[in-house]
Structure 1
Amino acid sequence: MTELAANPYDRNCPSRRLLDRIGDRWTVLIVGTLADGPMRFGQIARHVDGVSQKMLTQTLRALERDGLVKRTLYPEVPPRVEYELTEAGQTLRAPLRALEQWAMEHLPNVAVARTEYDHATDSPERSAVPA
């Protein structure tokens, strides 16, 4: 396999697609959910409030394709399928946990900044078109 020089600031860099995947809201929440161990589809859906069945399916398939999630089909009646993080997926736990912690810590400041920005953009000075 050839070594790729990664430059995520270059729009043609393959790392951008991976950054898109791991930076996606649903990926962050699903990886966080699977950090607790293997789960069935319905368990993940119940844990990740607001995710549609279609989006959960698409995200799990993409994570499986990227080697971050393993799907195991058990030969039972009815069939049972479980999803779990692979070794590579496990390595995402710490950075995503840090991102989640950062978001919770800074949420109040972000909310204030958004309110201030929204009020400022409503003002005539802010909405005026620059000359």
Structure 2
Amino acid sequence: MSSQIAKAARRVTHEIHGVVVSSALMQKTVKVRVGGQKWNKMVNKWLPDLKHYLVHDPNSSLRTGDVISIVPGWPTSRHKRHVVKHIIAPFGTPFSERPPVPTLEERIAEREARKAAKDSRRAAKQTDDATAIV
């Protein structure tokens, strides 16, 4: 089971660079603005096409103004589908004074540990229900 999760996580290879627009307003979540351009046929010019993503920040290590790299991850809530890969350029406080951003292996290990704990709780509940019925 754990190898399936690891394979699925490593299959995604593209990353997106953006700027943190808001942080510390939601727990473990930041809003990231990703720049882009779109061609407008009517005006015959490129116009800015910005997108905003809600990104999971497990250790709350990001600050407003940081330039970061994000990758698609597991859905953690209704609108959060991306997770921080690493900080490209910090804004304000340096790296040394912030909690570290977890690596892919650390995130996979944490997810597997949560899954194992959930499975053990579910098995314990099923055995309790089975003994209560008998």
Q: TM-score, with normalisation over the residues of structure 2?
A: 0.30
Q: TM-score, with normalisation over the residues of structure 1?
A: 0.31
Higher strand proportion: 2
